[in-house]
Structure 1
Amino acid sequence: MRAFVVSDHGVPPKIKDLPEPVPGPGQVRIRIHACGLNFADLLMAKGTYQETPAPPFTLGMEIAGVVEALGEGVTAPALGSRVAVFEGSGGLAEAGVFSAARCVVIPDSMPFNEAAGFLVAYGTSHLALTDRARLQKGERLLVLGAAGGVGLTAVELGAAMGAEVIAVARGADKLAVAKAAGATHVIDSDTADLRAEVKALGGADVVYDAVGGDGFKAAMRATNPGGRLIVIGFASGDVPQIPANHLLVKNIDAIGFYWGGYLKWAPERLAASLADLMQMYEAGQLLPHIGAQRPLSDAADALELLRSRKVSGKVVVTI
């Protein structure tokens, strides 16, 4: 089978021929139809992600496909099931073995390309906004990186939860995508005085930040007393340092959030969140946005699109 393999950290990944894997106890083999890319894939290729496998390994954390073989002790999902899976690696390949316990059966109405970009993006925003930030109807939600893979889902889910959403993104095209996803207000990150514009709108009650850098600093200064800043990631490459005295004086919370961590310490909450999201999808309340799609042979180009942040929504590789 073909797979997109990292032979060593810092060396560009390449398509290689590998033997098809055999599922072990508790695993299933999946014929992969699509793989959703995440910012963590870029970090993993460089060896800087917090959970990077030892090379060689196949990139791709988030996949969708069909179960074609069961390992010892596995009774579900059944052979032939359409599933989505989030695991550490292995997705940019024609087949892979994954933990049966992590498989989520997807609705027949959900195409594989949407399913491959669904779990992490929507799962991150749903748990972050409900479980950690405790977003309430009528609050003002500020989303930084609002046209990115996770940011756009935060806009969509925040609007669905009854928040007044302020979306921050770069350029008119991305702002239009955020507006279509439910943003009440849009701000161009390239031209705006972010703090001043957010304050003029009444300030932020909750800040959702997947970017870091100067945007986080400006957003913190525009957060209302009693507000919550939720740290999702650092797409800018700049990890901001938070002055604790600002948190104290303004009575605000800085909250860390790592969706993958719930797999280890609160899997039941993650499962409940995904079940809610699947119901919302089937009810037509969620409309996943795929910004770009490439075949496996162009996986390097797909990663470059993600790195350059030239597309809105999710980047997906079809197998």
Structure 2
Amino acid sequence: MSIFQKAAIALARSPGAGRLMRATAAGSALASRFVGGATAGQAAATAARLRERHGIRASLFYLGEYVADPAIIEQTVEQTVAACRVLGAEGLDVHVSIDPTAIGYAHSDALGRDNARRIASAARQAAGGGRDWVVLDMEDDGIRARTCALHRELLEDGLPAGLTLQARRLRTLRDLEWVVRQRTSLRLVKGAFPVRALDHRGRARIDAAYLEAAAIMLSPQARAAGFLPVFGTHDDRLAGALMALARERGWAPDEFEFEMLYGVRVDWQLALRAMGYNLRVYLPFGADWWPYAIRRVGEHPRNAWLLARSLNSDGYAAGQG
């Protein structure tokens, strides 16, 4: 981990820095760069603007993770249910992402399961026939098995559940064997939770593992099941390989999705849309935006430059996304 990233993490964990930035114009600009709004309504308005102006879809996510306080868990669930309802009312995809550790699994598995069903039931009720999914985010390996089990349970209940898997994990291909035979959505990411004993090692091997998993996601069996492949990556080199693989397998550009973080590599997002590919952005919302936003800045030293630029532009509204 770089000194720059360590500094960003320290800032993310600093209550004082968060209070200061939330009270400044610079902080407001940073929030608007990476976060869709403080409320579900504001986030849905951002999603509607992206869809209307650029044809970009969104997955709304209420900010928070590893929450054990029942009151905050309930607030997270209520806000996510509200997001489902407002997305449906706006005629947008009823598509939300949920972190199992934010909706109850850090308190008890029973609470987490019940809350996941509440959210997925709200999504099903609000859905209007678009690409409507409740996608489970994938955290560290301590929650992986429970997240995969929850995904199965929701699908068995007829609920619109999707899953996220990390290409870096050695066992991901085994997890995919069942998933690609289901009518579901799967977001494949490289993974941000390295565990040496459980992972492929080195960037080249992780990239190769990503493409091995993508080949399974783009298989004839997946197509026959009504499976929706979603490739979560900001790496244009990897995206080019995915495009070639999809063409080789006979998948049209509108039959799968790329997914990126809202406010990150916006020029590349627009380029993908110009090429006819479906793009979805992971669109966080909520008042506690500071830890999330500053982590985005800390992920690469060039983001310090991005931060400075973002404070003087409107991002997507300035023609970048």
**TM-score scaled by length of structure 2:** 0.34
Return the structure number with greater helix share: 2
Q: Larger C-alpha radius of gyration, 1 or 2? A: 1
